[in-house]
Amino acid sequence: ERLNDWMGELSKTEPVVVFCAYGFHVGCTTAAELRKAGFDARYMAGGHSAWKAIKGQVKLHDGPKGLEAA
């Protein structure tokens, strides 16, 4: 619902990976909307926990402006 608030901060020249923190498939919908807007967006099944389990590389950043950690 707030995708349009921060979509402008993303780069269309780099892939975007999203996931749902709570398992409600919000990430799938978000990735689809980003693809419609021209981004190379993908949904990460299993979320951050699955990525860490396979020792995937993690790059930390502040995230979109105006979004606060819950």
Q: Which pLDDT value is given to residue 33?
A: 93
pTM metric for this prediction: 0.69
Question: How does residue 58 score in pLDDT terms, banded at 50, 70 and 90?
Answer: confident
Asked if pLDDT for residue 10 goes beyond 60, the answer is yes
The tens digit of pLDDT for each residue in 11-36 reads 899 998 888 777 667 888 899 999 99
Q: Which of 43, 39, 41 is nearest to 12 (CA)?
A: 39
- Residue closest to 19 by CA, chosen among 8, 5, 4, 34: 34
State residue 31's pLDDT score.
92
pLDDT band at 49 (very low <50, low <70, confident <90, very high): confident
Rg (CA), the chain: 12
